[in-house]
Amino acid sequence: MTMDSGATVDHGFTERLAQLRASIEKRLDELLPESGNERDLVAVAMRESTLAPGKRMRPILLLLAADGLGHQGDPGLELGCAVELIHAASLVLDDMPCMDNASLRRGRPTVHLKFGEDVAILTAVALLSRAFGVIASINDLSPVIRTQLVEVAANAVGMQGLVRGQFQDLRDGQQARRAEEIAMTNNLKTGALFGAIMDMAWLISSSDVLVRPILQNFAVELGQAFQMYDDLRDKCSDGDKDQGKDTGKSTFVSLYGEDKVREQLQVHLSNAERNLHKVYGESHMIAGYMRMVFDKASVIA
Ligand code: GRG
C-alpha cells in the first residue's frame, strides 16, 4: 500500500482515510476466526468486539507514520491490525465487572453482558494471542526485526505498559493522586500503545536512529492528550459508551476541573504536533489526522 507522503489535509484527505479504514477493516475481518457456528461464542465475540465501529486510530496512525518514514508494503497493515487486536482485547477486559463494569462499548452491549464473563476473558486472551501470532508471521521482514516487533508489543501490553497502567488506575485511582501519578498511569494505560505504534513504524522503515526518541516524545504527548479526551468524554453522553464511570475516581478532570483539562489537552496536542513536524515536516497527513480526531471531539471544544 502506498500513499503520497506529502499529502495535505486538503487533497483527497478524507478519501485517503476512508481507503485506509477500509483496508484495515478488511484485513481484520480476514485475520479473525470464522464464526459460521453460532455456538462458537469466543469466535463470535472476537469478531463482534473487534469489528464493532471503532475509530481505528491506532492502525491508521501506524500506517501514516510508517508511510511518512518511507515504508511501503504490507507489514504496516499487519502490524496496525495486530495493535487493533490488542486494543480490542484491552477494551473487553476493561469493561468487565471487576474493572469498569461497563454496559456499552462502541454503541453495543459489552462482551461480558452479551456472552458472559467466561467468554469475555477467553475472547481477550484469544485476541491477544492472535495479535502476537500476526506479528510473528509477517514474512516480508527479517527474523531480527520481527523479534524486535514482538518485544515492542509485549512491553506495551505487560508490566511496562497497559497491565501496569490499568492496575494503577484501578487501585490508586480510588484515592487522591498527585498530578504526576495520574500522568504516569495515563502514560502506561494509554500512551504505551501509541509508543509501540511509533516504534513499530520506525522499525519497519529502517529510519535514522535520531528519529526514534522524537517519535516516542510524540507518543507520550498524544497519550496524555488522548486520555484527557477520554476522561472528558466520561462526562457527556454520545451513546457510544457509558457515562459516569469515573465518578469517585481521581483523574485530571476531578483534580483540575474540565476547563483546565481542556487547556492542558491543547498544550499536549501542540507538543505532539511539534514533535511530528520535526520528523515529517509541516504538511504531512499524520498531523492533519491527529488534529481531525480531536477536532471531531466536541468534548474538547
Ligand atoms: C491484556 C491487552 C491487555 C490489557 C490488560 C484491561 C487493560 C490491561 C488495560 C485497559 C487499558 C485501557 C482500556 C485504556 C484506555 C484507552 C482508551 C482511551 C481507549 C479508548 O480508545 P478509542 O477512543 O476507542 O480509540 P475506539 O472504540 O474508537 O477504538
Q: Is residue 161 part of a domain?
A: yes
Q: Is residue 205 part of a domain?
A: yes
> Exposure of 215 by Cβ count < 10 A (0-12 exposed, 13-18 middle, 19+ buried)?
buried
Cβ of 178 closer than 6 Å to ligand 1, yes or no, is no
Q: What are phi and psi of 104, to 5 degrees?
A: -130, 135
Cβ of 86 closer than 6 Å to ligand 1, yes or no, is yes
Q: Is residue 273 part of a domain?
A: yes
Cβ of 168 closer than 6 Å to ligand 1, yes or no, is no
The closest alpha carbon to 292, from 61, 73, 122, 37, belongs to 61
Mean pLDDT of 68-79: 94
Number of domains in the chain: 1
Q: Is residue 6 part of a domain?
A: no
C-alpha cell at 14: 478524507
- The pLDDT confidence band at residue 298, using thresholds 50, 70 and 90, is low
Using CA positions, which residue lies closest to atom 26 of ligand 1? 54
Average pLDDT taken over every residue of the chain: 93
The closest alpha carbon to 75, from 12, 117, 288, 67, belongs to 67
Grid-cell match 469515573, residue found: 246
| Residue range 232-287, pLDDT digits in tens | 998 776 778 888 888 889 999 999 999 999 999 999 999 999 999 999 998 789 99
Cβ of 84 closer than 6 Å to ligand 1, yes or no, is no
pTM: 0.95
In the chain, DSSP finds a helix count (H) and a strand count (E) of 14, 2
Q: What is the domain-level CATH number for residue 214?
A: 1.10.600.10
229: containing domain: 11-295
Q: Is residue 4 part of a domain?
A: no
Q: Is residue 45 part of a domain?
A: yes
Q: Is residue 3 part of a domain?
A: no
From 189, 227, 240, the mutation candidate for ligand 1 (largest count of ligand atoms within 8 A of CB) is 189
| Residue range 89-117, pLDDT digits in tens | 999 999 999 999 999 999 999 999 999 99
Q: Is residue 180 part of a domain?
A: yes
- CA dist 184 and 102 (Å) reads 24
